[in-house]
């Protein structure tokens, strides 16, 4: 079945450094890829998304890149801050069934 | 003005009991979902409704029965609760089945 792999599972960075989280998907017809941030005790919140007709999208300190040929997409956070600490999930919208397959999550810790 | 709300936030119950979780969205969305997040943070879709009609029904035990009285509400009823049902259950909504999802705050179910 469809699958999304996410790496790393945990990531610690110093405040001010950059963080990169990578995901690989299996359904080559997937065309929408959102990223979610989940803080402790809360539901996932959308932080950025990308559709397959573009290769990169940026929103202030957050950017997402997509390589459709290789079937992978990445989240880049620059100038990290302690409040960026959370669990981040990537997801891919499958074709046909229109359901989201989520990655296994990355626990990001930004050390002050 | 909560967009997607769930009740209760916490639910502790004994094995064998029947319980319900309620979800409401005030975003005017057509599509609603139930997800299960286990202790390892894996997010897995259970059900999806579009305009009160079931469109996604993953491999979920038939002890779980979703009900959508109108397109703003999607409730989840669970019969004969088992220890393995302990998890956080998230409701989500989206304008349509290929659009961005918005998650509720979650319901932490603990079965003793």
Instruction: Write out pLDDT tens, residues B18-38.
Output: 999 999 999 999 999 999 999
Cα separation of A87 and B42, whole Å? 11
Which chain B residues contact residue A105 at CB under 8 A? 41-43
Please check whether residue A7 is in contact with residue A22, taking contact to mean a CB–CB distance below 8 angstroms: yes
- At residue A63's C-alpha, the angle toward residues A2 and B99, to 5°, is 50
- Identify the CA nearest to A37 among candidates A89, A94, A99: A89
Tell me: the pLDDT tens digits for A20-74?
999 999 998 899 999 999 999 999 999 999 998 889 999 999 999 999 999 999 9
Cα separation of B101 and B34, whole Å? 11
CA distance A52 to chain B (A): 13
Question: Hey, are the CB atoms on B45 and A98 less than 8 Å from each other?
Answer: no
Which chain B residues contact residue A94 at CB under 8 A? none
CB atoms within 10 A of CB A5: 13
Question: Hey, are the CB atoms on A43 and B56 less than 8 Å from each other?
Answer: no
What share of chain B has pLDDT > 90, as a percent? 79
pLDDT over 90 at B90, yes or no: yes
Identify the pLDDT of residue A20. 98
How many CB contacts within 8 angstroms connect chain A with chain B? 47
Tell me: the pLDDT tens digits for A98-112?
889 999 999 999 998
Quick one: three-class SS letters along A73-102? EEEEECCCCHHHCEEEEEEEECCCCCCEEE
């Amino acid at each position: 079945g469809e699958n999304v792999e996410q790496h790393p599972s945990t990531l610690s960075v110093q405040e001010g450094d950059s963080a990169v989280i990578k995901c690989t998907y299996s359904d080559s017809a997937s065309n929408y890829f959102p990223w979610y941030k989940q803080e402790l005790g809360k539901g996932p919140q959308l932080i950025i998304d990308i559709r397959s007709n573009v290769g990169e999208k940026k929103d202030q300190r957050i950017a997402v890149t997509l390589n459709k040929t290789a079937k992978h997409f990445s989240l880049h956070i620059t100038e990290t801050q302690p409040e960026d600490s959370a669990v981040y999930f990537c997801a891919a919208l499958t074709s046909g069934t229109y359901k989201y397959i989520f990655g296994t999550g990355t626990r990001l810790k930004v050390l002050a | 003005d909560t967009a997607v709300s769930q009740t209760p936030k916490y639910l502790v119950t004994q094995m064998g009991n029947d319980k319900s979780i309620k979800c409401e969205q005030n975003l005017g969305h057509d599509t609603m979902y139930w997800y299960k997040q286990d202790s390892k943070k894996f997010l897995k879709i259970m059900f999806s409704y579009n305009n009160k009609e079931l469109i996604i029904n993953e491999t979920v035990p038939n002890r779980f029965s979703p009900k959508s009285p109108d397109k703003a509400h999607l409730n989840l009823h669970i019969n004969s609760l088992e220890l393995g049902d302990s998890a956080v259950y998230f409701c989500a909504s989206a304008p349509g089945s290929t659009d961005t999802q918005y998650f509720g705050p979650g319901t932490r179910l603990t079965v003793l």
